[in-house]
Amino acid sequence: MTKVNESAQEAQSTTKLSYKQLRFVEAYLISGNATDAARRAGYSEKYLHTNASKLLRNTTIQARIEERLKESIMGANEVLKRLSDMAKSSLLPFIEITEDGFVYFDFSHPDAKNYIHLIKKIRSKRTRQIMGSGNDAEEWENEWVEVELHDAKDALVQLGRYHALFTDNIKGNVDHNVKVSVYLPDNKR
């Protein structure tokens, strides 16, 4: 089947589905649970299990679920690109350094949003305290933020394996019982 025919067939299968069925497909892809997907799509609570079962047996719905899964699968080049991003990762897109040398995290900057996939974990803690008493009291706020990026070394190892850069797994037949004779002149013995 040609690409044009496949695209036409995909478009035709989507048009055969009602709005409610399309909502079911999208909800099913999120939850993986047909009953929950039927509920989210707006099917009657009274016949929820029956409708969910019928929807999953519908060949047009099955085809659309398969199409959507194929669309969402990350290709090899995207995997390599993301590993490359991790290997080259830096906190620079996420920080702002003031003239005084203070460092602030800024996740709202467009550069930060483009590299948010590099972050493995964010932890933060905010404390408030009042210093002094009466009219002299001042409120202080302290925020502590820790950002952990994905392991750059691990990403480099994965990329190195892909590019076959490492020789630690040399394959072949090695005979460890080989005897080697070396001739040494009399004055070297």
**H helix intervals, the chain:** 3-15, 19-31, 34-41, 48-57, 59-72, 76-87, 110-114, 152-162
* Best CA proximity match to 52, nearest among 35, 31, 29: 35
What confidence score (pLDDT) does residue 7 get?
A: 43
Q: What SS3 class is residue 2? A: coil
- Determine the pLDDT at residue 138: 87
Q: How remote is the C-alpha of 81 from its chain's centroid? A: 12
Q: What is the pLDDT of residue 1?
A: 47
Instruction: Answer yes or no: is 140 within a domain.
Output: yes
Residues of the chain where predicted confidence (pLDDT) is lower than 70: 1-15, 168-189
Q: State the pLDDT at residue 73.
A: 87
Cα–Cα dist 105/96, whole Å: 6
Q: What is the pLDDT of residue 182?
A: 57
Domain limit, last residue, from 72, 101, 127: 72
- Contact of 61 with 20, CB cutoff 8 Å: no
pTM exceeds cut of 0.75: no
In whole angstroms, give the CA distance from residue 150 to residue 86. Answer: 6
Q: Which of 72, 98, 118 is a domain's end point?
A: 72
Task: Give residue 21's domain range.
Answer: 3-72
Residues 45 and 95 in one domain: no
- Residue 137: inside a domain: yes
83 inside domain: no
Q: Residue 169 domain-assigned? A: no
Q: Report how many domains make up the chain.
A: 2
15 plus 58 within the same structural domain: yes
Pick from 87, 54, 70: nearest CA to 157: 87
CA dist 142 and 124 (Å) reads 11
**What pLDDT, on the 0 to 100 scale, is given for residue 5?**
44
List the structure tokens of 103: 């460092």
User: 186 CB contacts (<8 Å, ≥6 apart)?
Assistant: none
- Long-range CB contact pairs, 163-171, < 8 A, 24+: none
Instruction: Give yes or no: residues 36 and 68 share one domain.
Output: yes
Looking at the structure, tell me whether residues 9 and 67 fall in a common domain: yes
Residue 16's CATH number: 1.10.10.1400
> Measuring CA to CA, which residue among 77, 67, 91 is closest to residue 159?
77
Whether residue 44 lies inside any domain: the answer is yes
Structural domain contains residue 162: no
